[in-house]
Amino acid sequence: MSNAKPQTAITPTRADNYQDWYQEVIKAADLAENSDVRGCMVIKPWGYALWENIQRVLDGMFKATGHVNAYFPLFIPVSFLEKEAAHVEGFAKECAVVTHHRLEARNGKLIPVGELEEPLVVRPTSETIIGASFAKWVQSYRDLPLLINQWANVVRWEMRTRLFLRTAEFLWQEGHTAHATPEEAVDETMKMLGVYADFAENYMAMPVIQGEKTAGERFPGAVQTYCIEAMMQDRKALQAGTSHFLGQNFSKASGIQFTDVNNQMTHAWTTSWGVSTRLVGGMIMTHADDDGMVCPPRLAPQHAVILPIARKPEDRQRVLDYCKSLKKELEAQTYMGAPVRVQIDDRDVGGGVKSWGWVKKGVPLRLEIGPMDIDKDSVTLFRRDKGAKDKTQVTRGELVAKVSSILDEIQTSLFDRALAFRKEHTRDIDTKEEFYAFFADPPKKKPNDPTPIHAGFAMTHFSGEPELEAKIKEDLKVTVRCIPLAPGEPGICPFTGKPSAKRVVWAKSY
């Protein structure tokens, strides 16, 4: 019996070196590449199509909950950031700053000249600049609520970057709302957290835990921060979206005041919430395998790719005509309320090269058609949620009739697989010794072994001291990812022996 490892399209594999595997999946799927600008990325067409589908679905969900889109300046005066002390402190080390407004040629070089009277920060987040507009727009309780979203790019000057997960410039949406009462603002915060969870689970097929951040992990300037946390295949956590109740902190800083129903002047209650191109990274690390990307059908750029197989020149036109006819039939079917997306790949390259290229891109369905298939009026079907070489023969009529249900089967199987993985690697822990042992790195067998796969999620009671959380972070590089919203049983914190209302989620994270 051979002990040889099976051949995979991606090397190294997840087990060999997870970080390098992640980069190779992005490269093999042609999703993105590093830019000539330090820390920035070029999102290539297949990767950008994923983002466009994310954007399209979320934009519809936002509008269905009463929000409208607007756009605000990329540049923020430094004085605006200074208005909210916790906010400026939280972002100060990540800011890119514009200090000059023109260039002059001197000795063959371009030199910045024309120093600005006030430096401008390139948007790291927009609470302060949007607050300035809200202060102009809001005069009375009748002007509220303001429910605004913008799709934009932001800049956070990251020193250690990784495609999609952490780059100096990235794309996102940021919602900003203002309300007449704290109850309305809290309801908004929780509603949008629910929108994110719905999207993550029902479109990305990525199970998430909804919860509140501890004080140490809270958004700078927020009263409360809520998040959705997902487990990646290396068992680290990914914060996939956040929703913040800002109280009156930013409205006081920006002067968002209104006359209430009692004719009293008061400050508005505000929220903000956002997700970014980090979701593409989350999709990769949740579903991709050692053969490449696996796209959830509800967000896939193409649902199916048809691969004509004609080894003899005289067969080529017949096969191509059949493929075009099938494409038209499939596109007449609907999936998630829109036509099924189908592409024919008739490039003049080898069939194996084409097929493996689409495996790596993660297209949900590959349909191979040759003369023998046509003779039987059938199609060779490959599903991306199964092995790369796992195929079935289906009749053309059966495929057309069932294509939507097959896509949903794949969507469901991806979610179920990810949920089972999270359950397998989540453990209730009740002693400090077991907790530290759970997160201790296993010994490496050889000097060149990759970083080990991480332990997973530990669920422990926690009495909430920030100093204790900071100490555990220092010891193990582990943080409280969230305090789950789901009901929990009270217990005793294993670190302090104090009472605890419910278990919290601990993990290493991105």
Cβ proximity of 369 and 321 under 8 Å: no
The predicted-structure confidence for 366-416, as pLDDT tens digits, reads as follows 999 999 999 999 999 999 999 988 999 999 999 999 999 999 999 999 999
d(CA 380, CA 245): 52
Nearest to 92 by CA among 157, 152, 154, 37: 157
| Residue 444: predicted pLDDT | 52
From residue 205, alpha-carbon distances to 3, 136, 300, 416 in Å are 34, 41, 12, 8
Cβ proximity of 363 and 369 under 8 Å: no
The tokens 């990307």 sit on which residue? 293
Of all residues in the chain, what percent carry a pLDDT higher than 70? Answer: 96
Which domains does the chain show, CATH number per domain?
18-287 (3.30.930.10), 304-421 (3.40.50.800), 426-507 (3.30.110.30)
User: Can you count the helices (H) and strands (E) in the chain?
Assistant: 14, 27
Residue 14 has pLDDT above 90, yes or no: yes
HSE toward the beta carbon, residue 180, CA cutoff 13 A: 15
What residues does 316 pair with on adjacent strands? Answer: none
- pLDDT range class, residue 3, cuts 50, 70, 90: low
Q: Is 282 helix (H, G, I), strand (E, B) or coil?
A: helix
* Rg over CA atoms, the chain: 26
Beta strands in 54-179 (DSSP E): 68-69, 75-77, 96-106, 109-122, 146-155, 169-179
The tokens 């900071």 sit on which residue? 470
Chain-centre distance of CA 244, in angstroms? Answer: 17
The predicted-structure confidence for 74-85, as pLDDT tens digits, reads as follows 999 999 999 888
Pairing of strands 503-507, 499-500: unpaired
Q: Residue 433 belongs to what H/E stretch?
A: helix 432-439
Nearest to 359 by CA among 343, 379, 382, 327: 382
Q: Measured in Å, how far apart are the chain's first and last C-alpha atoms?
A: 40
The predicted-structure confidence for 313-348, as pLDDT tens digits, reads as follows 999 999 999 999 999 999 999 999 999 999 999 998
The amino acid occupying position 300 is A
Nearest to 221 by CA among 146, 271, 175, 281: 271
Pairing of strands 68-69, 491-492: unpaired
- pLDDT range class, residue 88, cuts 50, 70, 90: confident
CB neighbourhood size of 127 (10 A): 30
d(CA 34, CA 43): 9
- pLDDT range class, residue 73, cuts 50, 70, 90: very high
In this structure, of 81-85, 174-178, 236-240, the range with the lowest mean pLDDT score is 81-85
Q: Where are the alpha helices (DSSP H) in 219-277?
A: 249-254
Nearest to 101 by CA among 92, 112, 91: 112
pTM confidence score? 0.95
Q: Residue 313 belongs to what H/E stretch?
A: helix 313-331
What residues does 292 pair with on adjacent strands? Answer: 289
Cβ proximity of 239 and 273 under 8 Å: no
